[in-house]
Amino acid sequence: MLNTIHLQTFLAVVDAGSYSAAAERLHMSQPAVSQHIRALETQLEQVRLFRRVGQQMLLTHAGEELVDVAREMLALATRAEENIRSLRGQISGRVTIGCAASSGEYLLPPVLALFRARYPAISITVSTAPIDTLVEWLANQQVQVLLVEEQQRRRGWESHLLGGEMFALLAPRGHELLRCGEVTPGALRNVPLVLPRSGLPTRRMIEDGLRRRGVGASEINVAIETDSIAMMIQAVRTGLGLAFIPRSRVPRGREIGTIDIAGLHLQQDWYVLRSRERGAPRAVQELYGFITGEEARKILRKAGIQTSPER
């Protein structure tokens, strides 16, 4: 019988790409990770599961064959443990949520705080990455729930519109456009802007909105790109450029103001996704139901998010 701890270590190396990264993820020493992999290879009659290429550990053919089986075995073991605990009236388990840092860092904490108060035996991990990586993680079952800024339509996936929020344009105190009242989108031509990285959903939303109002991509002056809203705000404070950020994140104080752009309405939507697999762990079901339920919507509305039933 294969050892589930060894299988967990094996999958950590697969996902992290190296023994050292897997050790950090598992809070183990690198020799311990190596020992687990050797023990697993010994149990499989000395078959090699990895080959080293530079600093990366790549799967052999045998390793590729083991990946899906390992994930299934760990899922079954987790489900069995949860089912036994549920007999005692305690819902437990582990759920990994994938999200972009810009959304997860302020949308999730208040919702998860109430959820954890309700289900203290459910452990939650939040992993951040670009949207393409997040989608791949859900497809590979590396995460069980996604919070993303674009609708994803795939067979076997369940998607729920969580809500949306309008964006505001920040400018530092004394900027000439703050003295103009409402300005036209054309006033932003060649004005330095602090924007999300190219290819991200929020960047596409901003560029599409400006293009519809007559400002093409070639007329946008990108001063700096960053995924961090905190860095965008600080960049505005220091005069690097103007920045579009969610209205709920607009800082209070006199050092920063917002510019009214006539006819420019930028709204970012958020979607919650999960796989529609049969017999999904109870912990995943409870978390997904909570995030898409009325209690979470009340929390988000207090934070300034327009939730889906109102839209």
SS3 of residue 285 by DSSP: helix
pLDDT of residue 103: 66
Q: Taking the chain, what is the end-to-end CA distance rounded to the nearest angstrom?
A: 53
* Domain range for 283: 91-311
Question: Does 210 share its domain with 122?
Answer: yes
Look at residue 81 and tell me if it is in a domain.
Answer: no
pLDDT of res. 114: 92
Backbone angles phi and psi of 178, in degrees to 5: -70, -20
Alpha carbons 231 and 306: distance in angstroms, whole number? 25
pLDDT in tens, 17-61: 999 999 988 888 999 999 999 999 998 988 999 999 988 899 999
Residue 311 has what pLDDT?
42
State percent of the chain over pLDDT 90. Answer: 47
pTM: 0.67
For residues 288-304, average pLDDT: 88
DSSP3 helix / strand / coil % (the chain, rounded to 5): 45, 25, 30
Q: What is the pLDDT of residues 74-124, one digit of tens each?
A: 888 877 776 666 655 567 888 999 998 776 777 888 999 999 998 888 989
CATH of the domain at 62: 1.10.10.10
Strand pairing category for 256-259 and 242-246: unpaired
Residue 226 belongs to a domain = yes
pLDDT of 125 over the 50 cut: yes
Instruction: Give the model's pLDDT for residue 89.
Output: 58
**Domain co-membership, 40 together with 134:** no
> From residue 155, how far is each of 69, 145, 215, 280, 295 by CA, in Å?
22, 16, 37, 16, 28
What does the alpha-carbon distance between residue 298 and residue 274 come to, in Å, rounded to a whole number? 22
End of a domain among 16, 48, 74?
74
pLDDT for 59 equals 93
**Same structural domain, 307 and 161:** yes
Same-domain status, 60 and 109? no
Residue 3 above 90 pLDDT? Answer: no
Contacts by 76-84 with C-beta closer than 8 Å and gap 24+? 77/4, 78/281, 79/279, 79/281, 82/281, 82/282, 82/283, 83/282
Look at strands 93-99 and 122-128 and give their pairing: parallel
> Which of 41-45, 214-218, 256-260, 307-311 comes out lowest in average pLDDT?
307-311
Alpha helices for the chain (secondary structure H): 4-16, 19-26, 30-43, 61-86, 101-118, 131-139, 201-212, 229-237, 282-291, 294-302
The amino acid occupying position 241 is G
- Do 125 and 27 share a domain, yes or no? no
- Residue 192 predicted with pLDDT over 90: yes
CATH number at residue 135: 3.40.190.290
Q: Judge if 122 and 235 occupy the same domain.
A: yes
**Residue 68 placed within a domain:** yes
Q: Is residue 42 part of a domain?
A: yes
Q: How many domains does the chain have?
A: 2
Distances (CA, A) of 137 to 119, 167, 256: 25, 28, 38
The string of DSSP letters for 44-80 reads TTT---EEEETTEEEE-HHHHHHHHHHHHHHHHHHHH
Question: How does the average pLDDT of the chain come out, rounded?
Answer: 88
Q: Residue 307 has what pLDDT?
A: 78
Alpha carbons within 13 angstroms on the beta-carbon side of residue 167 total 25
176 lies in the same domain as 221:
yes
pLDDT digits (tens, 9 = 90+) for 146-162: 999 888 888 889 999 98
**Mean pLDDT score, 269-293:** 88
Domain final residue, candidates 74, 104, 133: 74
- Distance between CA atoms of residues 278 and 258, nearest Å: 48
Q: Going by DSSP bridges, is the β-strand pair 256-259/221-225 parallel, antiparallel, or unpaired?
A: unpaired
Q: Is residue 27 part of a domain?
A: yes
Q: Is the pLDDT of residue 310 over 50?
A: no
Q: Does residue 79 fall inside a structural domain?
A: no
190 and 309: one domain?
Answer: yes
Q: Is the domain of 187 the same as that of 120?
A: yes
183 in the same domain as 115: yes
Q: Is 86 contained in some domain?
A: no
**Are 136 and 251 within one domain?**
yes
Residues 120 and 177 in one domain: yes
Residues 6+ apart with CB under 8 A from 8: 26, 74
pLDDT digits (tens, 9 = 90+) for 202-229: 999 999 999 999 999 899 999 999 988 8
Asked if the structure places residue 85 within a domain, the reply is no
